[in-house]
Structure formats: structure tokens, C-alpha cells
Amino acid sequence: MNCKEVMQLLSEFIDGELDSCHCEEITAHIEQCPQCRVFFSSFKNTVKLCRECLKTEIPEDTRSRLRKRLNEENW
């Protein structure tokens, strides 16, 4: 597997959607290719950072105004 092929499969790899054969090929390539190793690490960290940082709660005033609006519509 070359660098391009590895890169195209990275999302499925980190999402656990590849069969064991592909996983082994990617793992072997990453171990011996420094550039892909760096790319893989930063790619995985990007997903993790976004998951951690972009969660948000609904503000209480937004929640209240939603209920008020639904009531006003006289449903």
C-alpha cells in the first residue's frame, strides 16, 4: 500500500470500518513511513480535538424562548 492509498483509507481506519487485512497493511505502512505517521497522528488528533471542543449545550434563554414561541403559535 502506498502513501496515497493509505491516506484515502484513514477515515475508515480510525472509524474502525476496515477489515483486519487492510488495517494490518495501513499499520505496517505507518510504522515504516515517517510522513504518513505524522499525517496519521495529526489526522486522528484533529478528529479528537473537534469532538472535545465543539460540543455545546443549549442556552437556558434559548430553551425558554423555544417554549414561548411554541405556546404563542397556539398549537
Partner 1 sequence: MAKRDSKVSISIDGKERGIASKSQPSSIALTKSTMSDLEDAELVNRVLRGEKAYFNEIVNRYETSIYQYMFRMCGNQADAEDVLQETFLNAFRALDSFRGDSKLSTWLYKIANNSCLMKRRKSKFAPDKELSLTETSTHSEIESGVSIHTPAKTPIDAMLSSEFRSILQNILLDLPKHYRQTFILADIQGFRGQEISDILGVTIPTVKSRLHRARIFIRERLSNYVDIRSEL
Rule CB under 8 A: which residues touch partner 1?
Answer: 3-4, 7-8, 10-12, 17, 34-36, 38-39, 41-43, 45-59, 62-63, 65-67, 69-71, 73-75
Residues 6+ apart with CB under 8 A from 40: 6, 10, 30
Q: Which is nearer to partner 1, 24 or 38 (CB)?
A: 38
Q: How far, in Å, are 37, 48, 70 from residue 45 at the CA level? A: 12, 5, 41
Closest approach, Cβ 12 to partner 1, in A, equals 7
Which residue, among 4, 17, 11, has the nearest Cα to 47 in the 3D structure? Answer: 11
Closest approach, Cβ 28 to partner 1, in A, equals 17
